[in-house]
């Protein structure tokens, strides 16, 4: 059993491993078959975690927050690589040293994604009005206009770096609209978001002082916006955060800043990665792309398949609040678990031939948006953006093809493409 040794299990907490997607899928396939609830040690003082790799287990854990917690103080939703752990400890130390400063406020806040009910429910309700079907459907013309403009800019070039030119642009423009901030600020949002998620990637990593400087900038920005929305409320997401009360009180400043960061990161990176990952898949499977060109009504189905295929968020973490069992395994109170969506999405018990990419695929809903209590609040927005983007892209540049290898971000959390050169006529 080549992938079942400790080395392979150890590898799952290390971002390096995920640069080779094929190898990771081999590990997950082996674990689904041989050890679907697998104990995985961690290097350098990490306490280890359970890898949950089957679809049904991921679903049942996700809908049971009374036993499986997302609470930040217990460990939150991410596994830390050995590198990350060292960096977090340094940042926490730096934040403590400037006690009361912006760094400590940022590192002490909690957003809904790292809360359990009932606090989670209250915080989610605050921004839920921003994600109603009516409101999202009303955005479609705007999304299309923005998308056409973005594609217009690359027309006639023959080749471009697709991530920065297209995949990153559309979600960040839409995010600026949703938050109600100036479009000129989107570069800042983009950079902050990269700093917040890129800590494991040597290309994107910045040093402690720079991180503290970014925290300071981001904090000032978020706080100024809060004051302006309290003075002049409108119907954007930031007004909802600034003016909705929890238990009769305004949201704590630290929690408000965390909620702001969550929206910036969650609404941005993931959609970008589904657009770039989708174009990569269509380029690798030209027969599937041709089906969409011949019959664009298949695009919404293709969007589901792309999001299953890409798994833009690779996993989410949980902490057991009591001794319990998953499958045959006894999970102890305090144990950490990783719900590997990337694996659940290829579960052989759920889909025929899960390793083939098929735009006409039928079957259960993928797990990429999570499930249960924390089901992605922006799932429909992401689907709409990806649908409109593919409709316009394939209309204009039907032969868009990825050139050479893509440059992946070093991360075990986000399945992210940093750079991807494409060629097209038109």
Residues that bind ligand HEM (CB under 6 A): 62, 70, 77, 112-113, 124, 262-263, 266-267, 270-271, 274, 307, 312-313, 316, 368-370, 374, 376-378, 381-382
Nearest approach in angstroms of CB 73 to ligand HEM is 15
Nearest approach in angstroms of CB 273 to ligand HEM is 7
For ligand HEM, which is the closer residue by CB, 81 or 415? 415
Count of H helices and E strands in the chain? 19, 14
Nearest approach in angstroms of CB 348 to ligand HEM is 22
Q: Any alpha helices (H) in 12-118, and if so which ranges? A: 21-34, 55-62, 82-97, 102-108
Assign 3-state DSSP to the chain and report helix, strand, coil percentages, each to 5. 55, 10, 35
For ligand HEM, which is the closer residue by CB, 212 or 377? 377
For ligand HEM, which is the closer residue by CB, 81 or 274? 274
For ligand HEM, which is the closer residue by CB, 53 or 104? 53
**Residue 219 near residue 105 (C-beta atoms within 8 A):** yes
10 Å CB burial of residue 161 (0-12, 13-18, 19+) is middle
Nearest approach in angstroms of CB 42 to ligand HEM is 20
| Residues whose CB falls within 8 Å of the CB of residue 84, separated by 6 or more in sequence, listed in order | 199, 200
Nearest approach in angstroms of CB 425 to ligand HEM is 29
Per-residue burial over 385-402, b = 16 or more CB atoms within 10 Å of its CB, e = otherwise: bbbbbbbbbbebbeebbb
For ligand HEM, which is the closer residue by CB, 94 or 114? 114
The position carrying tokens 């394939």 is: 394
Nearest approach in angstroms of CB 189 to ligand HEM is 12
Measured CA to CA, the distance from residue 408 to residue 418 in angstroms comes to: 5
Nearest approach in angstroms of CB 182 to ligand HEM is 18
75, two tokens: 């460990």
CA atoms lying within 13 Å on the CB side of residue 256? 28
For ligand HEM, which is the closer residue by CB, 62 or 95? 62
- What's the distance, CA 421 to chain centroid? 22
For ligand HEM, which is the closer residue by CB, 95 or 276? 276
């Amino acid at each position: 059993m080549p992938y079942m040794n400790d080395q392979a299990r150890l590898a799952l907490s290390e971002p390096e491993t995920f640069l080779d997607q094929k190898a990771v899928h081999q590990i997950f396939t082996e674990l689904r078959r041989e050890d679907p609830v697998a104990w995985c040690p961690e290097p350098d003082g990490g306490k280890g975690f359970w890898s949950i790799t089957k679809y049904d287990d991921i679903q049942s854990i996700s809908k049971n927050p009374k036993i499986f917690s997302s609470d930040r103080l217990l460990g939150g939703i991410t596994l830390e690589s050995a590198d990350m752990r060292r960096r977090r400890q340094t940042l926490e130390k730096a934040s403590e040293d400037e006690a009361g400063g912006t760094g400590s406020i940022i590192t002490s806040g909690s957003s809904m994604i790292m809360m359990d009910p009932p606090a989670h429910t209250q915080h989610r309700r605050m921004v839920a009005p921003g994600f109603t079907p009516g409101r999202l459907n009303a955005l479609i013309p705007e999304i299309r206009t923005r998308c056409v403009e973005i594609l217009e800019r690359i027309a006639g070039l023959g080749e471009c770096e697709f991530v920065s030119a297209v995949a990153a642009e559309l979600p960040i423009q839409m995010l600026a609209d949703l938050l109600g901030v100036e479009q000129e600020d989107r570069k800042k949002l983009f950079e902050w978001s990269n700093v917040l998620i890129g800590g494991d990637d040597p290309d994107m990593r910045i040093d402690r002082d720079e991180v503290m400087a970014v925290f300071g900038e981001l904090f000032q920005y978020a706080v100024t916006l809060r004051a302006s929305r309290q003075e002049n409320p409108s119907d954007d997401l930031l007004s909802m955060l600034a003016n909705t009360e929890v238990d009769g009180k305004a949201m704590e400043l630290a929690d408000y800043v965390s909620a702001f960061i969550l929206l910036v990161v969650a609404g941005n990176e993931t959609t970008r990665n589904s657009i770039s990952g989708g174009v990569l898949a269509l380029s690798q499977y030209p027969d599937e792309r041709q089906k969409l060109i011949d019959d664009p009504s298949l695009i919404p189905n293709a969007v589901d398949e792309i999001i299953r295929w890409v798994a833009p968020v690779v996993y989410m973490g949980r902490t057991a609040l009591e001794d319990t069992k998953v499958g045959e395994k006894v999970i102890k109170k305090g144990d950490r678990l990783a719900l590997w969506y990337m694996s659940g999405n290829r579960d052989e018990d759920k889909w025929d031939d899960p390793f083939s990419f098929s735009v006409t695929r039928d079957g259960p809903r993928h797990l990429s948006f999570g499930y249960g209590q924390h089901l992605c609040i922006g799932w429909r927005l992401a689907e709409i953006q990806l649908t409109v983007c593919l409709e316009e892209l394939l209309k204009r540049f039907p032969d868009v093809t990825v050139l050479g290898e893509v440059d992946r971000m070093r991360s075990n959390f986000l399945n992210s493409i940093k750079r991807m050169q494409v060629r097209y006529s038109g």
